[in-house]
Amino acid sequence: MNYLGNESYLAIKPEATPGTPVKPTIMIPLVAEDIKTVVNYKADDRMKGIAWKSDDLIRGNRSHEGSITVLGDPDTLGHILNMGMIKGSSTGSVDGYTHPLTVGDGKSYTFEIKKGSYAQRFFGVKSDETSIEFKDGHMEIKMTVKATGQFSIATVGIALTGAGMVSLVLDDTYDIAPNRGLVIGDVLTVGGVDVTLTGVDVDGITVTFASTAITASIGDKVELKPQTVSLGAFSDPFYFGNIIVGFGTDIADAIANTADRADAKLAHEMKIILKNNLLAQNGTNRMDPYEILPRTKEAQLEIKQLFKGAEQRQAWLDRKFQAVSIVGLGKFIKADFSTQEKVTFNFPAVKLTDNENAIAVGEYIIDDQKFEVLYDAVTAEAMDIELINKTAGTVY
């Protein structure tokens, strides 16, 4: 049987305890995904009296990494940012919730992606790099992630013999604790029968369920059954035409220049890159990373705007500090049109690392700029974000 990618889904949910899986129930339309498990197989090339490289494979430490691509609607953007930054206390109501975000360690999530007949679940998922740009006029987000483990396919370890089966022991070839990643309420398909888990045993190999007639042999496949897709109403993604970019000598000046479109800069292309530079740390007790740690954080901006004078070249050559405020506006939330979906990125100190002005026949000259986001001693921060959307802070 063939499977079309359009039938897949992405389900996510923040974890109460980092690395402890939960059943992800927040479903987000997915553009693309390439998260993989690196099992780290290696040919066993020890000398065994044969004139061939190997007769088996051995393995090293595992890792789980890759990317997802989604559209940047205000509610999805909240989860993306929540994975890479610290969300402060949210305020507001159903008429619009305001979420402040500052530099720090974001929350870990459980992800689940449908892969044909089974679901692949990654837990302890953290944001390594987030790239926010605009394609075809709307916000698109590509986020690379690392995870501490996965569950998707397992193997029957002890045969199931018919009526009255209440537990399943999983084979330990992949891992000595193969039930890691499962939670109560998950549905497994084994021997062609679906069972809903009532327990995930601390022995690492056993799961329990209500008495069910199942026949399955040792070595048979066990699948995590995909959930039924349930998508709520999604807002439009932020549109490039509704973005306002303000430059200034300091952040107050930059913010003021977003208040009036006449004072704002006209950008033709833009990308915001946020990096946590994660370290997936392996060690004793498991084959998977036991911890994922953020290292030095950084951010860059890429902006293209029409060349109108030499000011930006001067700023580049002189390593001049600038401040940038980027505001994205969405739909109105409140019925009286007083509260609007909105995201604000404030960068109080940036400097140009590149400022190219390539010339082509029949084309206008463009300031093709790359900015490094720097720590600002005056505001004691490198950046902050404020997001207004329809999602309560408790969801994050």
Express each pLDDT in 112-127 by its tens digit. Answer: 999 999 999 999 999 9
Long-range CB contact pairs, 6-9, < 8 A, 24+: 7/114, 8/33, 8/113, 8/114, 8/115, 9/112, 9/113, 9/114, 9/226, 9/227, 9/229
Q: Parallel, antiparallel, or unpaired: how do β-strands 153-155 and 160-169 relate? A: unpaired
For the record, the structure tokens of 91 come out as: 């305020």
Query: Alpha-carbon distance 225 to 209, whole Å?
Result: 15
Residues 307-360 have pLDDT tens digits of: 888 888 888 889 999 999 999 999 999 989 999 999 999 999 999 999 998 888
Residues 80-136 have pLDDT tens digits of: 999 999 999 999 999 999 999 999 999 999 999 999 999 999 999 999 999 999 999
For the record, the structure tokens of 251 come out as: 């952040």
Q: Compute how many other C-beta atoms are within 10 angstroms of the C-beta atom of residue 357.
A: 13
pTM of the model: 0.93
Q: What is the mean pLDDT of residues 366-387?
A: 96
Q: How many residues does the chain have?
A: 396
Q: What is the mean pLDDT of residues 289-304?
A: 95
Per-residue DSSP letter, 174 = S
Beta-strand ranges (E) seen in 249-335 are 267-275, 278-281, 291-294, 298-306, 322-332
Can you name the residues that pair with 170 across neighbouring β-strands? Answer: 156
